[in-house]
Amino acid sequence: MKTLWTLFRVFFTIGLLTFGGGLAMVPAIRRQAKEQGWMTEEEMLDCIAICQSLPGMIAPNICTYIGNRVKGVPGAIAATLGIVLPAFLSILIILMFLGHIEDNPYVKGAFVGVQSASVGLILMTVYQMSRNIMKNWLSWVLAAVSFVLVVVLGVNAILSIILCGFVGWLSWYACRKEGKK
């Protein structure tokens, strides 16, 4: 029971104190998963890759995955409730008072700051993940190709993921045939 409470408490705190959506929460989730001993850095990278390719929001997906890994289905429920509940309660409160604050210049200014900080957190996640993922030239080429396909050419991100995944698999298969690592 203590582990379930810890899962809920840790992810509730992250959900309560992190602004900017799921991607902005990833650095805090990664740090806590490592500090709590729930996952290694390599396992966390795999978790993020899997959860990003699933439908839905990335933060609840990651927390569900971690909770399930730590304590099965009850752990998945505790972790998911922990990360989702603060946003749910915040939305309810905002909806009750939105008519009174939506034109407030202080509130508008605060949101500009929160949005900017969120971009910084997302860039930090990209930097930290790239240090652990980009281990060879093919990784860098596939990242660049994916960026160009999605941002410059407007190709659907899912198609880019499938294409790069197929190229990665071909590379792995070719190396395996040659007996290389």
- Give pLDDT tens digits for 120-130: 878 887 887 78
Which residue type sits at 88?
A: F
Q: How far apart are CA 106 and CA 80, in angstroms?
A: 32
Give phi and psi for 92, each to the nearest 5: -60, -45
Task: Tell whether pTM > 0.75.
Answer: no
Number of H helices and number of E strands within the chain? 7, 0
Residues 6+ apart with CB under 8 A from 78: 4, 5, 7, 8, 11, 67, 71
Reported as a pLDDT band with limits 50, 70 and 90, residue 19 is confident
What is the pLDDT, as a whole number, of residue 130?
Answer: 81
- Give pLDDT tens digits for 117-166: 888 878 887 887 787 778 888 889 999 999 999 999 999 988 998 999 89
Q: Is 51 in contact with 65 (CB distance < 8 Å)?
A: yes
- Give pLDDT tens digits for 79-103: 999 999 998 898 888 777 766 776 7
What is the pLDDT, as a whole number, of residue 180?
Answer: 62
pLDDT at 178 > cutoff 90: no
pLDDT, mean over the chain: 87
Tokens of 58: 């990335």
Q: What is the mean pLDDT of residues 174-179?
A: 80
What is the pLDDT, as a whole number, of residue 77?
Answer: 96
Complete DSSP assignment for 23-85: HHHHHHHHHHHHHTTS--HHHHHHHHHHHHTSSS-HHHHHHHHHHHHHHHHHHHHHHHHHHHH
